[in-house]
Amino acid sequence: MLRIENLSKDFGGLRAVDHCSFEVPAGTIFGLIGPNGSGKSTIFNLVTGFLLPTEGEIYFKGERITGWPPYAIVRKGIARTFQLVRVFRNMTVMENMLMGPKHQAGENFVAGVLNLPAVRRQERENVRKARELLAIMGLERFENEYAGNLSYAEQKLVEIARALMTDPDFLMLDEPASGINPTLVENILQHIRRLRDEHGKTILLVEHDMNVVMNLCDWIVVLNYGQKICEGTPETVSCDPRVIDAYLGV
Amino acid sequence: MEIAVHLLVLITIYGILAISLNLMVGMAGLFNLGLAAFYGIGAYTSAILSRNFGVPVGLSLLAGVALSALIGFIIGLPTVKLVGDYLAVVTMGLGEITRAVFKNWVPVTRGPMGLPGIPHMSLFGFKLDTAPLFLAFSFVMIAISFIFVERIRLSPFGRVLRGVREDEMGAQALGKNTYWYKMIALVVGSGLAGLAGGLFAHYMSFIDPSSFVMWLTFFIFLAIMMGGLGNNLGAVVATGVLMVLREGLRFAGLPPAVAAPLQQLIFGILLIIMTIFAPRGLIPEQKPRYD
Amino acid sequence: MDIFAQLLVNGLIAGGTYALAAVGYSMVYSILKFINFAHGSIAMVGAYITFFLAIQSLHLPLPAAFFLSMLLTALLGISVERIAYRPLRRAPKLSTLTTAIAVSFVLDAAVMILMGADIKTFSLPVMQGYSIGPVLITPVQIIIIGASFFFMLLLYILLTRTKLGKAIRAVADDPSLAEASGINANVIIAAVFGIGSALAAAAGSLIGLDTNLQPTMGFLITIKAFAAVVLGGLGSVYGAIVGGFIIGIVENLGVWVIPPVWKDTIAYGILILVLFVRPAGLFGSVEQAGVLQQ
């Protein structure tokens, strides 16, 4: 589904990502872990088009997407969340959700202003879909609440729900469990598992919390100082001496 | 009574300006400080075409709108990707350059002497040469502008604009080509400002560069902040209130040399207070409901 | 060739004043990452205070009026920061820009009301100029360029050799770290505004000496100073100096080829050109400048 080849990114004198390569197979939950500063979020930004790589290529569904602008990459079927939750704080939860769907007829200036029947039909359909998703996440009562007024955990769920509204094949979650009360984390993990099992989505996640990672992921890549130092199943990776060294030898 | 009608006409014209600025700043988050330039381009274009070349007024008005929109487009192409502060400064600079053109391109604009004898607005041969007649026309114009921009606001397009205003990166992460959304907002806004300018020219029958100063942009800015950023009705109402206040100050019996800067002083302080205590404007945006 | 040399010299003199204005501007920008739009108006107030003290009322000797004006303007700058900018420190950038513009309008209006909108000059007695080759320089011009360099040197010494200077650079670099090291950021920020405003006053007075005084000069000074800062590179105080000189020279040489009425437009042109072509300016870095939308 996603393949990165020899990806590197320099910031001035600092090499944040160093010749990284890996491939994410479809229908898996893939974990990207590593100590702080190992380049995980940079890879996220590179894949989603928010940063331009210094070297290397990125392929999605077999197509080369290196250097594409973010909106084009999203249109191809990738959706992402951010490390520090980003929702539109001064817009309602429903509005946030309605920003999700791609190819909305009403987003075309002329069609939107004229409020064509197709536009109205799509809006109704999107509202229905949004309500469904919000119900699954347990957020339906916040529909008309400003997103900024929700708790951090609730905002994270909104962000994930909103990303799902883009109908992605590939979902990139940046630290979905961080900042969340441990009791609520299992809730989020359930949703993520369901996405893979019931909806056939592929998920790439960056996470710090080793429990989450070990519990959830089918396959893990470990980064340190921008380089891939190990990859494998959770069991393999947790026993690998290089990984232990990276995490403990800081 | 005459004064009241005159004031109302000006309110409709500045109201259209406020709606256009609200579209660009309040809805799209584009800090266009060159508003007065687009206003001026619309005015001068319509004036010159109708006055010097005998173009029928309706057509020249449209030409003014088109040229303003076109220049908005050209300016927007490199500018729209600049971050807020810099966008503001660049548009301000462009606004001032445009005003310098009005002042110095004497063969075309007659510079500081201005353009007198601009033909009156006429509809299908019927001349709108009195203030009340013009008021009827300009009222229709502002009503159309209002409905138009409200339609934008309530549409999914408008929703994306708001998202871009809130968090551009977030909007991009949802697959929106934010650059074009901002461009469209800028072009439509500039065109509307050009409409206001054309109306101004044909109402006053005389224009000169002094009507298109940065102070005007600032005044409209104050109006949309008072009315609530993104709130079109508020923008128009606030414009009305500020215009009345301005007239009131003029009648306070002060010598004109003091009245004008005093106005500037008071409104400046007002804007500072508002920015500190009510940064999203006095009237918050309505929550859209989807029932 | 003679004209060229004369225009070049005039450009250097004007450039010196712009550099001085730009340096104060750049300092404020480095500390607060915010474009103080009122900087030019503050410079204008400084110029008018000098005028008021020297010519209009107390008839103080010019140097005394000059320095007193710098002091008073510094106090003005500190007050403006306290009243209008500090409450907005956590607000979105656009709020501070709006307020800064509003402050500039308020100051312009106040001066217009108090001093009138007519053009004023320092009307110094006409003195014999000096000829250096083909170029004529008046004593006033020598004083102007001398003063510009003097204050820039003073600033350099302040920033690099004094404790205050170190503290300023610390806060500019990393405010939270500076606070954690025991520096009171609020005091430093006030100091920066004070110094920046004093320099602005000096620049304004010198510009007034070089040309004339009108309440609208504030806006032009702001644009030229900002153009100088952007040209030199945002965040580089010394770049601002180079930028100021370049603008002064280009402006004065420019009137050789284009009609003089367009002289002030040159600074706008440079500003816009730099922001479109190379936002980082001569000595800055693009990412650091944060000019482009991500």
The pLDDT tens digits for A172-225 are: 998 888 877 777 777 778 888 888 888 888 999 888 777 788 888 888 888 888
Distance of CA B165 to the CA centre of its chain: 19
- The domain in which residue C71 lies consists of 2-217
State pLDDT tens for residues B115-139.
888 888 877 777 777 888 889 899 9
Identify whether the C-beta of residue A46 lies closer than 8 Å to the C-beta of residue A17.
Answer: yes
* Three-class DSSP category at A59: strand
Q: How many CA atoms lie within 13 A of C232 on its CB side?
A: 27
Chain B residues near any Cβ of chain A (below 8 Å): 148, 151-152, 155-160, 162-163, 166-167, 169-178, 184, 188, 280, 285, 287-290
| Residues of chain C contacting residue A52, judged by C-beta atoms under 8 Å apart | none
Integer-rounded Cα radius of gyration of chain C: 19
Provide the pLDDT for residue B17.
96
- DSSP readout, chain C? -HHHHHHHHHHHHHHHHHHHHHHHHHHHHHHH----TTHHHHHHHHHHHHHIIIIISS---HHHHHHHHHHHHHHHHHHHIIIIIGGGTTS-HHHHHHHHHHHHHHHHHHHHHHH-SS-B---PPP-PPEEETTEEE-HHHHHHHHHHHHHHHHHHHHHHHSHHHHHHHHHHH-HHHHHHTT--HHHHHHHHHHHHHHHHHHHHHHHHHHS-B-TTHHHHHHHHHHHHHHHH-TT-HHHHHHHHHHHHHHHHHHHHHS-GGGHHHHHHHHHHHHHHH-TTTTT--HHHHT-B--
Cβ neighbours around B276 below 10 Å, total:
17
The alpha-carbon gap from C292 to the nearest alpha carbon of chain A, in Å, equals 13
β-pairing, B126-127 vs A29-33, is unpaired
Question: Tokens for B269?
Answer: 């302080």
Report the C-alpha gap between B282 and B274 in whole angstroms. Answer: 8
Closest Cα in chain A to C286: A12
Q: Say if CB C90 and CB B252 are below 8 A apart.
A: no
Amino acid at A103: H
Residue type (1 letter), C112: M
Do A192 and A220 lie in one domain? The reply is yes
pLDDT for the residue C287: 52
| Domain edge (last residue) among A135, A165, A195 | A165
By C-alpha distance, the chain C residue nearest B166 is: C92
Q: Judge whether C124 lies within some domain.
A: yes
| A212 and A224 both lie in a single domain | yes
- Going by C-alpha positions, the residue among A185, A240, A183 that lies closest to residue A207 is A185
Q: Which amino acid is at C108?
A: D
Across chain C, what does the average pLDDT equal? 84
Q: According to the model, what pLDDT value does residue C1 have? A: 67
Please check whether residue A193 is in contact with residue A187, taking contact to mean a CB–CB distance below 8 angstroms: no
Quickly tell me which residue has 């298109």 as its tokens: B212
- Please name the residue of chain B whose CA is at the shortest distance from the CA of residue C230: B86
Rounded Cα distance, B70 and B51, in Å: 22
Q: Which of C35, C95, C101 sits opposite B218 (nearest CB)?
A: C101
Residues of A with CB under 8 A from a CB of C: 11-12, 50
Other chains touching C, judged by 3 or more CB pairs under 8 Å? A, B
**What residues in C contact B90, CB-CB < 8 Å?**
271-272, 275
CA distance B23 to A217: 46
Long-range contacts of A112-121 (CB under 8 A, 24+ apart): A112/B151, A112/B152, A112/B155, A112/B156, A112/B157, A112/B158, A113/B148, A113/B151, A113/B152, A113/B155, A113/B157, A114/B151, A115/B151, A115/B155, A119/B155, A119/B156
Contact at CB, B173 and A80, closer than 8 angstroms: yes
Cβ of A113 within 8 Å of Cβ of B177? The answer is: no
Closest residue, chain A, to B181 (C-alpha): A109
Residue of B nearest to A90 (CA): B166
Comparing CB atoms, the residue among C117, C271, C276 nearest residue B78 is: C276
In this predicted structure, what is the pLDDT of residue B188? 95
CB pair distance less than 8 Å for B163 and A99: yes
Facing A99 at nearest CB: one of B152, B159, B177? B159
Q: Which residues contact C170 (CB under 8 A, 6 or more apart)?
A: C177, C178, C181, C183
Distances (CA, A) of C65 to A235, C51, C152: 79, 8, 20
DSSP 8-class letter at A142: G
Distance from CA of A81 to the nearest CA of B (A): 8
Tokens encoding A145 = 């609440």
Taking the C-alpha atoms of residue C13 and residue C248, their distance in angstroms, rounded to an integer, is 8
- Enumerate neighbours of A (3 or more CB pairs within 8 A): B, C
The owner of tokens 């266009």 is: B32
CB contact under 8 A, B155 and A162: no
Query: If you average pLDDT over every residue of chain B, what do you get?
Result: 88
Q: How many CB pairs under 8 A join B and C?
A: 121
Beta-carbon separation of B257 and C116 below 8 A? yes
Domain of A219 in residue numbering reads as 1-77+168-250
Q: Check residue B220 and give its pLDDT.
A: 93
Optimal mutation site among C37, C118, C272, interface B, most CBs of chain B within 10 A? C272
Distance between CA atoms of C218 and C201, rounded to whole angstroms?
Answer: 11
User: Buried (b) or exposed (e) across B167-197, using 16+ Cβ within 10 A?
Assistant: bbebbbbbbbbbbebbbbbbbbbbbbbbbbb
Q: Judge whether C277 lies within some domain.
A: no
**Residue of chain A whose alpha carbon sits nearest to that of B158:** A107
How confident is the model over C251-259, as a mean pLDDT?
85
First-to-last alpha carbon distance for chain A, in angstroms, is 33
Q: What domain count does chain C have?
A: 1
Within-domain flag for A160: yes
Is A73 among the domain residues?
A: yes
Q: Tell me the C-alpha to C-alpha distance, in Å, between residue C145 and each of C63, C209, C218, C221.
A: 15, 11, 20, 17
- Which chain A residues contact residue C288 at CB under 8 A? none
Record: contact B287-A144, CB cut-off 8 A: yes
Letter for the amino acid at A153?
A
Total count of domains within chain A: 2
> Which positions of chain B have pLDDT values less than 70?
253, 291
pLDDT bracket for residue C286 (50, 70, 90): low
CA distance C294 to chain B (A): 7
For residue B224, give the nearest of B266, B183, B271, B160 by alpha carbon: B271
Q: Which of B157, B166, B175 sits opposite A109 (nearest CB)?
A: B157
Residues of chain C found within 8 Å of residue B78, distances taken between Cβ atoms: 276
pLDDT at C163 over 70: yes
Of the candidates A11, A12, A50, the beta carbon closest to that of C294 is on A50
Contacts of C294 in chain A (CB under 8 A): 50
Alpha carbon of residue A44 to chain centroid: 8
Distance from CA of B133 to the nearest CA of A (A): 30
Q: Over the stretch C115-157, which tens digit does the pLDDT of each residue have? A: 887 888 877 766 677 777 777 788 778 888 888 888 888 888 8
CA distance A157 to A161: 6
Residue A220 parent element (H or E): strand A219-224
Amino acid letter at C154?
A: L
What is the three-state SS of C225-291? HHHHHHHHCCCCHHHHHHHHHHHHHHHHHHHHHCCHHHHHHHHHHHHHHHHHHCCCCCCCCHHHHCC
pLDDT at A250 (0 to 100): 44
- Say whether residue C287 is in contact with chain B using an 8 A CB cutoff: no
- Which tokens go with C6? 């004369």
> Is residue B181 a contact partner of residue B157, using CB atoms and an 8 Å limit?
yes
Q: To the nearest whole angstrom, how far is the Cα of A84 from the nearest Cα of chain C?
A: 17
- Asked if C117 reaches chain B (Cβ–Cβ under 8 Å), the answer is yes
Q: How many CB atoms lie within 10 A of CB A117?
A: 9
Q: pLDDT band at residue C290, thresholds of 50, 70 and 90?
A: low
- Give the burial class of A113: count Cβ atoms within 10 A of its Cβ; 0-12 exposed, 13-18 middle, 19 or more buried: buried
Q: Are A2 and A172 in contact (CB under 8 A)?
A: no
- State the pLDDT at residue C289: 53
Where would I find the beta strands (DSSP E) of chain B?
122-123, 126-127
- H, E, C per residue of B14-53: HHHHHHHHHHHHHHCCCCCCCHHHHHHHHHHHHHHHHHHH
Which parts of chain A register pLDDT below 70?
A: 248-250
Tell me whether residue C57 is in a domain. yes
Nearest one of C226, C215, C199, C234 to C100, comparing CA atoms: C226
Q: What is the pLDDT of residue C285?
A: 63
Q: Which of A91, A158, A162 to mutate to test the interface with B (most CBs of B within 10 A)?
A: A91
Asked if C31 and C192 touch (Cβ cutoff 8 Å), the reply is: yes
CB-CB: which of A70, A107, A127 is closest to B172? A70
Question: If DSSP codes are grouped into helix, strand and coil, which group holds residue A58?
Answer: strand
HSE-CB for C11 with a 13 A CA cutoff: 23
B178/A94 Cβ within 8 A: no
Which chain B residues touch C if contact means CB-CB below 8 Å?
31, 33, 78-79, 81-86, 88-90, 93-94, 96-97, 100, 103-104, 168-169, 214-215, 218, 221, 225, 257-258, 261-265, 267-269, 271-272, 275-276, 279
Contact across the interface for A86 and B169, Cβ inside 8 Å:
yes
Residues 6+ apart with CB under 8 A from C13: C141, C144, C145, C210, C248
Closest-CA distance, A203 to chain C, in angstroms, reads 25
Within-domain flag for A56: yes
Residue in C91, C98, A100 with CA at minimum distance from that of residue B163: A100
- Cβ distance of A90 and B289 shorter than 8 Å: no
**Segments making up each domain of chain B, as ranges:** 2-213
* Residues of A within an 8 Å Cβ radius of B: 48, 50, 69-72, 74-75, 79-80, 82, 86-92, 94-95, 98-100, 102, 104-109, 112-115, 119, 123, 127, 143-144, 146, 162-163, 166
Residue with tokens 């950038």: C93
Average pLDDT over residues C198-227: 88
| Minimal CA separation from A89 to chain C, in Å | 14
3-class DSSP state of A11 = strand
Residue A31 to residue A41: CA distance in whole angstroms: 12
Q: Are A176 and A152 members of one domain?
A: no
CB A181 within 8 A of CB A209: no
Angstrom distance (rounded) from CA A243 to CA A208: 13
**Residue C177 domain-assigned?**
yes
User: How many other CB atoms are found less than 10 A from the CB of residue C286?
Assistant: 13
Query: In angstroms, what separates the C-alpha of A48 from chain C's closest C-alpha?
Result: 12
Tokens describing residue C60: 């103080």
Query: Cα separation of B205 and B201, whole Å?
Result: 6
* CB-CB neighbors (< 8 A) of C269 in chain B: 97
Task: Tell me, yes or no, whether A128 lies in a domain.
Answer: yes
Q: Are residues A70 and A185 in the same domain?
A: yes
Site of tokens 């994410």: A24
CATH number at residue A66: 3.40.50.300
CA of C130 to nearest chain B CA: how many angstroms apart? 35
Torsion over CA: C107, C112, C114, C118 (sign): positive
Measure the N-to-C terminal CA separation of chain C; round to a whole number of Å: 48
Residue A83 lies in a domain: no
Instruction: Please give the pLDDT value at position B75.
Output: 87
ipTM value of the model? 0.84
- CA–CA dist B108, B115 (Å, integer): 10
Determine the Cα–Cα distance for residues B212 and B201; give it in Å rounded to an integer: 12
Is the domain of A224 the same as that of A178? Answer: yes
